[in-house]
Amino acid sequence: MKSKAVLAFIVMVILMVAAFAIGSYRVYFDERVQGELALGSLSDLLAARIEMGHNLLTVAKRHLKEDDSLLRAVIQDMDVLDSADTLNEIAAANEKLSKDSKALLDHLQTVHSVIQDERDFRYVTGLLPRGFEQSAQWADAKQYNEAASEFNTRLNHTVNGQVARLLGVDEAERFGLEGAGL
């Protein structure tokens, strides 16, 4: 009878440990999925930035030579942003697109043919700068990075988090370099 009680106790302990491990994994896995959903919406916003870049290029190509360095830079930035794999690469490409597109817009505002073309002049002085500014604000990763940091802290500093890590839950990747803004 005593051996049955010991066996039952051992089975109970094993079941409790398994339930704890499964619960730990499930909680952190679900939270990680929520973070990836937030990242998905950020990807949509970055796609909108690429579209703004195409709009800028449409206007720029009407007024600048094909080998213009600012024009080439924006084209390259959009290609890099579109093909980047890691969040750091995406953030760096997004920063570069912001910088180069602003430089191209500033240059276009001084081009005589743009000044003479009422429609294109309105684009480069109003619509496109506002579009880039808004899309940069929308693509601000501050909230995502804060959530990722909180998730990583809980994952690394709690017993449940350590169990979840042992079972394959990884840290959330941050968007961009530490302290880098969009």
**Measured between alpha carbons, how far is residue 87 from residues 39, 57, 79, 90, 132 in Å?**
9, 25, 15, 5, 20
Extract the tokens encoding 118. 């009422």
Q: Is the pLDDT of residue 138 over 60?
A: no
d(CA 52, CA 133): 10
pLDDT tens for each residue of 11-36: 888 888 888 778 777 777 777 766 66
pLDDT tens for each residue of 91-115: 788 888 888 988 999 999 999 998 8
**pLDDT-derived band at 176, boundaries 50, 70, 90:** low
Sequence-distant (6+) residues with CB within 8 A of 84 are: 90, 92, 93
